[in-house]
Amino acid sequence: MFISYLLLFIGLFFWIWGTLPILNKRNTILYKLHTLTVSDTVGSALILIALIIRNSTHWPVLFICLITLTLWNTIFGYLLGNLTEK
């Protein structure tokens, strides 16, 4: 139970940590985008893993959510990065 809370709070930390560079004016848009997409993916994955640990009866649905989340955020970040370059 302690591990699930720890993973949950680490995931929330990554969400906040990835959002903070957006407020900084001196960073480039690509740096902001990279930080946001990576930290959002890692934070969300940790939160889903914490939910799997807390409620193991719903692990198939949460595991599918975990896989689709990582694939979607990776592809979406790549597409946004390519669109901002041009």
For 52-82, the pLDDT digits (tens) are 999 889 888 989 988 998 888 878 877 877 7
Average pLDDT of the chain to the nearest whole number: 87
Q: Write down the domain spans for the chain.
A: 2-85
Rounded CA gap, 22 and 32, in Å? 6
Rounded to 10 degrees, what is the CA torsion of 15, 36, 53, 69?
140
pTM, to two decimals: 0.83
Rounded CA gap, 72 and 70, in Å? 6
Q: What percent of the chain has pLDDT over 70?
A: 98
What is the reported pLDDT for 45? 92
What is the reported pLDDT for 28? 83
